[in-house]
């Protein structure tokens, strides 16, 4: 969507040692137990998964379903942008634990955080943060989460994962909606009593509007907002909540300006219509939730004007806007939050985060703040040790200018996809991306999956999303040399498939 970002970025300061990670030996390659640098290129010595991965999968299978497992990882030997499996393969990782590795594997600065004696008690003890926070928690939040808060937001609550962040974001929206309806008065005794048996008026029939092809998590509330794959939702009951169409843009964008504008207006009109319908049904919409970029659903972009229009609709109808930045936050797009690219007239009401942020949580504006204790609560409310790790991630991002670097390298990566698409229009389409988020479509799912498997054979690990999309989610420390390795392998695979 945003195809040309910052360029002419200063050279990236090296963060690893000079000794080669892979060392030559008569038998081939041996790997140091404490790597100080990445491999210079992928190393593939077996199939992936290899025999050791398959044996471990067979060993695990009696305990739990293993159908989703791709291969077993040697995390001690993984480093930087390379993931090592138990069979001795070293793959350039452009999927990074489903977009959740911010600055690479075994980053020395992260290792130092664990060795710092001042952090020892933070890792040894895991407190119930909502009731017994540690003495340094306020300062730790100021140095980490609040230092990168979305513009205009100063309230934050930490959580354990993305899905529980969404769950509590919805709760905050429902609570604020009802406080507004009460005009600031306390709840009635009837409300207090009826909520305990899941009845109105204490449990009102409110709804949340979400979008087709959205993914917000696998817990029950988040699952009601998720509309991607059947294996996420089958057999689980779900409330009757409205689902609007998300724009399906045509590419290249510059050739379809009018058509894409019409499509976005159609979707916004549908949002307004659904809000009116559900108000008439007695299930008023309290919150609209959207990803700033639909990731799991196929890397579906929309323009800044679409999100500006969505916010206008929410304001007009006194509905709260929740932007789910679980996969897109932490600098993945060249700004710390993707919605910063949208030039919204005011901040969203709630922004959720997780993945590259090391833990989950939600930022929210002052009017969304719960007015009583225990309303947004669980035992741990995240983990202060993860906040300490996030603080160091943020330090590295700032010191090494990784936002600029991500924008620059991401533009270079997108250029590779666009050039491959130009040469192979029957095989590739809709090359798109921003920063460390990139994607390209194949004609169908089986062809995409074949390309994925062939890339792995050549030592590059990628992901998928949607029905036929190849998904790239590298770290913020990706360099152009890594993109060149990807380009070489990708062009080989495309040539084989053509």
Phi first, then psi, for residue 305 (nearest 5°) are -65, -35
Q: What is the pLDDT of residue 34?
A: 53
Does 215 participate in catalysis according to the annotation? yes
Average pLDDT of span 111-117: 96
Whether the per-residue pLDDT at 24 is higher than 60: the answer is: no
Q: Distance between CA 73 and CA 56 in Å, rounded?
A: 11
Whether the per-residue pLDDT at 287 is higher than 60: the answer is: yes
Average pLDDT of span 394-417: 98
Whether the per-residue pLDDT at 125 is higher than 70: the answer is: yes
Which of 90, 215, 307, 442 is an active site residue?
A: 215
Whether the per-residue pLDDT at 406 is higher than 90: the answer is: yes
For 305-328, write each residue's pLDDT tens digit.
999 999 999 999 999 999 999 999
Which one, of 339, 328, 331, lies nearest residue 407 by Cα?
A: 331
Q: Distance between CA 246 and CA 300 in Å, rounded?
A: 8
Whether the per-residue pLDDT at 389 is higher than 80: the answer is: yes
Asked whether the beta carbons of 263 and 315 are under 8 A apart, the reply is no
Percent of the chain whose pLDDT exceeds 70? 93
Least confident of 18-22, 334-338, 354-358: 18-22
> In what order do the strands lie in the sheet containing 320-324?
155-159, 360-364, 350-353, 320-324, 285-290, 207-211, 243-244
Whether the per-residue pLDDT at 268 is higher than 80: the answer is: yes
Average pLDDT of span 131-135: 97
For 141-185, write each residue's pLDDT tens digit.
999 999 999 999 999 999 999 999 999 999 999 999 999 999 989
pLDDT confidence band for 9 (50 / 70 / 90): very low
Does 349 participate in catalysis according to the annotation? no
Average pLDDT of span 408-424: 98
pLDDT confidence band for 35 (50 / 70 / 90): confident
Which of 379, 422, 481, 488 is an active site residue?
A: 379
Q: Distance between CA 158 and CA 349 in Å, rounded?
A: 16
CA of 229: how far to CAs of 116, 234, 467, in Å? 43, 9, 9
pLDDT confidence band for 481 (50 / 70 / 90): very high
Q: Count CB atoms within 10 A of the CB of residue 486.
A: 24
> Rounded mean pLDDT of the chain?
93
Write a three-state SS string for 18-35: CCCCEEEECCEEEECCCC
Q: Distance between CA 44 and CA 190 in Å, rounded?
A: 66
For 71-88, write each residue's pLDDT tens digit.
999 999 999 999 999 999
Whether the per-residue pLDDT at 22 is higher than 80: the answer is: no
Q: Which helix (H) or strand (E) holds 316?
A: helix 304-316
Least confident of 34-43, 60-69, 281-290, 353-362: 34-43
Does 312 participate in catalysis according to the annotation? no
Q: Which two tokens stand for residue 385?
A: 């040790």
Residue by residue, DSSP assigns 268-286 as: HHHHHHHHHHHHHTT--EE
Q: What is the pLDDT of residue 426?
A: 97
CA of 145: how far to CAs of 99, 120, 384, 393, 469, in Å? 19, 21, 11, 11, 32
Pairing mode, strands 437-441 and 429-434: antiparallel
Average pLDDT of span 358-386: 97
Least confident of 22-31, 350-359, 405-414: 22-31
Q: What is the pLDDT of residue 184?
A: 86
Which of 93, 324, 349, 408 is an active site residue?
A: 324
Q: What is the pLDDT of residue 200?
A: 97
Does 441 participate in catalysis according to the annotation? no
Whether the per-residue pLDDT at 27 is higher than 70: the answer is: no
Distance of CA 117 to the CA centre of its chain: 32
483's CB contacts (< 8 A; 6+ apart) are: 409, 412, 413, 416
Average pLDDT of span 272-288: 98
pLDDT confidence band for 221 (50 / 70 / 90): very high
pTM beyond 0.85, yes or no: yes
355-382 burial, b at 16+ Cβ within 10 Å, e below that, comes to: bbbbbbbbbbbeebebeeeeebeeeebb
Which of 77, 335, 355, 356 is an active site residue?
A: 355
**3 state SS of 185:** coil
């Amino acid at each position: 969507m945003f195809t040309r970002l910052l360029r002419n970025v200063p050279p990236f300061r090296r963060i690893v040692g000079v000794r080669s990670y892979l060392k030559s030996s008569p038998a081939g390659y041996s790997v140091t137990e404490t790597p100080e640098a990445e491999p210079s290129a992928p190393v593939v010595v077996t199939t992936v998964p290899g025999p050791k991965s398959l044996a471990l999968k067979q060993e695990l299978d009696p305990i739990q379903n293993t159908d989703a497992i791709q291969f077993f990882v040697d995390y001690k030997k993984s480093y930087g942008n390379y993931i090592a499996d138990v069979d001795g393969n070293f793959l350039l990782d452009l999927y990074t634990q489903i977009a959740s590795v911010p600055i690479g594997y075994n980053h020395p600065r992260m290792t130092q955080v664990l060795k710092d004696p001042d952090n020892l008690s933070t890792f040894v003890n895991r407190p119930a943060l909502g009731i017994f926070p540690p003495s340094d928690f306020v300062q730790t939040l100021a140095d980490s989460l609040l230092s990168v808060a979305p513009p205009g937001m100063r309230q934050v609550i930490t959580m354990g994962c993305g899905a529980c962040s969404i769950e509590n974001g919805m709760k905050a929206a429902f609570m604020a909606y009802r406080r507004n309806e009460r005009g600031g008065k306390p709840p009635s005794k009837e409300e207090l009593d009826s909520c305990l048996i899941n009845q109105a008026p204490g449990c009102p029939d409110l709804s949340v509007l979400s979008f087709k092809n959205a993914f917000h998590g696998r817990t029950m509330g988040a699952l009601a907002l998720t509309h991607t794959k059947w294996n996420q939702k089958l057999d689980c009951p779900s409330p009757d909540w409205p689902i609007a169409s998300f724009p399906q843009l045509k590419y290249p964008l510059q050739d379809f300006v009018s058509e894409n504008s019409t499509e976005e207006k159609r979707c916004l009109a549908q949002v307004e219509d659904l809000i009116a319908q559900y108000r008439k049904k007695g299930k008023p919409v309290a919150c609209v939730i959207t990803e700033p970029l639909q990731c799991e659903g196929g890397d579906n972009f929309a323009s800044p004007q679409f999100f500006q229009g969505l916010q206008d609709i929410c304001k007009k109808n006194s509905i709260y806007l929740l932007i789910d930045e679980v996969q897109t936050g932490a600098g993945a797009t060249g700004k710390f939050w993707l919605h910063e690219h949208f030039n919204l007239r005011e901040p969203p009401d709630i922004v959720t985060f997780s993945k590259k942020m090391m833990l989950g949580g939600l930022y929210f504006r002052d009017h969304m703040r719960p007015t009583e204790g225990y309303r947004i609560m669980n035992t741990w409310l995240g983990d202060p040790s993860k906040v300490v790790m996030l603080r160091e991630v943020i330090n590295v991002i700032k010191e090494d200018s990784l936002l600029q670097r991500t924008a620059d390298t991401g533009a270079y990566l997108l250029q590779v996809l666009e050039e491959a698409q130009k040469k192979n229009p029957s095989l590739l389409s809709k090359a798109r991306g921003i920063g460390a988020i990139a994607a390209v479509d194949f004609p169908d799912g089986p062809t995409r999956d074949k390309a994925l498997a062939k890339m792995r054979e050549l030592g590059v690990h990628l992901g998928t999303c949607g029905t036929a999309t190849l998904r790239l989610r590298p770290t913020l420390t990706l360099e152009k040399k890594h993109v060149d390795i990807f380009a070489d392998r990708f062009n080989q695979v495309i040539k084989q498939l053509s």
